C-alpha cells in the first residue's frame, strides 16, 4: 500500500468476483468510481436515470478497458416506484452484492418536488438512497467484506440542519440550506446504519466519503448570477472528477477501512488532494438526531430495514 498521503487507484486491491452497484455512474464522480472498479476487475452496475447517457458511459469504460464487465440498470432516485423496480431487478440478478455506492445527487436545485412530493434534494440525495439501500441490504448482509458507501459533502457543515418541522421546505425554500440538510442526512444515515449493522453481524459495514471541491455536472443548478464566480473558483480551486472519486474508492476498497469512517481529500480545507480519514460535524454524530431521521425516513419511504 502507498503512504497515507498518496493513495491512488493503483492501491485498489483486486476486485475480481465482486459486484459493485454505483448510482449516478454515467458522469462525474460516479463515472470515475465505476471505471476504476471495472479496471480493478469488479462487475460494475451503472445505476442511472438516463439510459442513453448510461450507454455512452458504458461504452467509454469498455473502450478504455476492453475486458471490463459492466452493465446498466435504470434508476431514478427521485421516484420511489423507480427505486423499487430497480431494487427488485438487482435483487433478482445479483444474489450477492459486495459494494453499494450511493453516489448520485443533485445540488442547489430550484424548488422542485420528486414524483412522491419530496423536496428534490432531500428526496434524491437522502430518501432515494435510503430506500434503495434498505431494499438491497438483504443481498449485502451475507457477503463478507461488503460495504455501503454514501457520498456526502463539505456542504453537510454549511447552514445544515434537519428541519423536522418542514422537511420538504413547504413554507419557504433555501436551495443552499436544503442541500446542506440532504448532505447532513447522508452522514446521519451512514452512522445509524453502521450502528445497526454492528449489532446484527460483522460482514457488512457502512462508510462515507466526500469529494472536496470537484469539477462535475453537479454545478449545473448554480444560479445564473453565481455561474461566473463558480467558473473562476473552479479553475483555481477545484480538482478533476477523477481525483474527487478517490475518497469514495478508498472507502469502498481499502482493506483497513472500518465502519462509520469518513474519507475526504487531504489538502487545505479538504478541498482537493489524495484521500485520507477525515472527521464530520458534531451534529452528524448526534445519535438522537440519527434515530429520529431514520424513523422519519422509514415512514416517508415505506421501506423498513432487515437490521
Q: What is the Cα 253 distance to its own chain's centre?
A: 15
Catalytic residue list contains 179 = yes
Query: What is the gyration radius of the CA atoms in the chain, in angstroms?
Result: 18
- Helix (H, G, I), strand (E, B), or coil: what is residue 279? coil
Give the SS3 label for residue 244: helix
| 80: region left, alpha or beta (phi > 0 left; psi from -120 to 50 alpha) | alpha
Taking the alpha carbons at both ends of the chain, their separation in whole angstroms is 33
Distance (Å) of CA 31 to CA 13, 24, 99: 19, 7, 15
Please report the sign of the dihedral spanned by the C-alpha atoms of residue 286, residue 272, residue 265, residue 70: positive
Choosing from 31, 94, 179, 263, the catalytic residue is: 179
Residue 239 near residue 265 (C-beta atoms within 8 A): yes
Task: Tell me how far apart the alpha carbons of residues 266 and 78 are, in angstroms, rounded to a whole number.
Answer: 32
**Which residues are catalytically annotated?**
179
Amino acid at each position: 500500500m502507498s503512504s497515507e498521503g498518496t493513495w491512488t487507484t493503483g492501491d485498489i486491491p483486486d476486485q475480481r468476483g465482486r459486484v459493485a452497484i454505483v448510482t449516478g455512474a454515467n458522469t462525474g464522480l460516479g463515472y470515475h468510481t465505476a471505471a476504476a472498479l471495472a479496471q480493478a476487475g469488479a462487475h460494475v452496475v451503472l445505476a442511472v436515470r438516463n439510459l442513453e447517457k448510461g450507454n455512452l458511459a458504458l461504452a467509454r469504460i469498455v473502450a478504455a478497458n476492453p475486458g471490463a464487465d459492466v452493465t446498466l440498470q435504470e434508476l431514478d432516485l427521485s421516484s420511489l416506484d423507480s427505486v423499487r423496480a430497480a431494487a427488485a431487478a438487482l435483487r433478482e440478478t445479483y444474489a450477492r452484492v459486495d459494494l453499494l455506492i450511493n453516489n448520485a445527487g443533485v445540488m442547489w436545485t430550484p424548488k422542485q418536488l420528486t414524483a412522491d412530493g419530496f423536496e428534490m434534494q432531500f428526496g434524491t440525495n437522502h430518501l432515494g438512497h435510503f430506500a434503495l439501500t434498505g431494499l438491497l441490504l438483504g443481498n449485502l448482509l451475507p457477503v463478507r467484506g461488503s460495504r455501503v458507501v454514501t457520498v456526502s459533502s463539505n456542504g453537510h457543515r454549511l447552514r445544515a440542519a434537519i428541519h423536522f418541522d418542514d422537511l420538504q421546505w413547504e413554507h419557504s425554500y433555501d436551495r443552499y440550506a436544503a442541500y446542506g440538510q440532504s448532505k447532513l442526512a447522508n452522514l446521519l444515515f451512514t452512522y445509524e446504519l453502521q450502528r445497526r449493522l454492528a449489532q446484527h453481524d460483522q460482514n457488512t459495514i457502512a462508510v462515507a466519503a466526500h469529494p472536496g471541491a470537484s469539477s462535475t455536472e453537479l454545478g449545473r443548478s448554480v444560479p445564473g448570477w453565481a455561474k461566473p464566480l463558480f467558473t473562476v473558483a473552479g479553475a483555481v480551486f477545484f480538482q478533476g472528477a477523477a481525483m474527487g472519486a478517490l475518497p469514495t474508492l478508498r472507502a469502498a476498497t481499502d482493506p483497513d477501512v472500518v465502519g462509520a469512517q469518513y474519507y475526504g481529500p487531504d489538502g487545505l480545507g479538504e478541498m482537493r488532494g489524495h484521500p485520507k480519514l477525515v472527521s464530520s460535524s458534531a451534529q452528524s454524530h448526534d445519535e438522537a438526531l440519527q434515530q429520529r431521521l431514520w424513523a422519519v425516513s422509514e415512514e416517508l419511504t415505506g421501506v423498513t430495514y432487515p437490521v
